[in-house]
Amino acid sequence: MENTLLIGLSRQVALARELDVIANNMANVNTNGFKARSSRFEEFLEPDASIETFPWPDRTLSYVIDGGTPIDLTDGATEPTGNPLDVAIRGDAFFAVQTPAGERYTRNGAFQMDAQGRLVTSDGFPVLGDGGPIQLEPGDSDVVIGPDGTVSTNAGERGRIALVRFEQPGSLSNLGANLFAPLEPAQEAIPAGTAARVEQGFVERSNVQAVHEMTRLMEVSRAYTRIASTLSSLSDLQRTAIQTLGEAV
């Protein structure tokens, strides 16, 4: 009886985790450059005991454990904005931005110019180029951003937006504000090269599939409710059994 309750509880914990992932995806369905995550679970077998330890064969119990939340790095749809400072990445790459916590990475190319003339994200983080932040001058006009990220104005080139990639992008960690960072310091960003290009005047939309997420939300909610009902019935059965035994004594 106790094993059944524990197995059911392990499944409920896993489903609650999946609900959190789905809710976060749904909340960012309109966030530029957002990458959806999914839930992965594994089977955990317990106990690891030999058959000779018990007078009768012991049964292996199968629990559910969290196997991680892999990120979906497929491109989102691009949307024209008419803003010459907006750029969308097509391919395997990220923009590098400078934050108070250090260099971070994003796919959100909705850029603007701050009071110092720097190209910044919507949260005010400077966009990094090959030689540091991209700096524009007050008199600059006719901004053109080439497919390789080169930023030019009527006064000439102002730098090239750094496009970087990772050997294992699936292990990137979300930091909030649509920023990513590698989980392991050893996994350094490397130049994207020809693996990616940018499109001026566009932004990449979220790659969350709203219909799929809504369907999963209903499925997970129903599964959670079914397990809760089963555990409640088992708990009632256990209580009844204890009361009956108590009366018999």
Inter-axis angle of helices 2-27 and 210-248, to 10 degrees? 160
pLDDT band, very low/low/confident/very high, at 93 (cuts 50, 70, 90): very high
Kindly report, residue by residue over 128-140, the tens digit of the pLDDT: 998 899 999 888 8
Q: What is the pTM of this model?
A: 0.79
Instruction: Give the long-range contacts of residues 149-153, CB within 8 A, separation 24 or more.
Output: 149/87, 149/198, 151/119
Residue 176 scores a pLDDT above 80: yes
pLDDT tens for each residue of 19-59: 999 999 999 999 999 999 988 766 555 555 444 554 555 55
Looking at the chain, the number of H-run helices and the number of E-run strands are 2, 19
What are the domain boundaries of the chain?
Answer: 2-72+208-248, 78-204
* Residues contacting residue 173 through CB under 8 Å, at least 6 positions apart: 180, 181, 182, 183
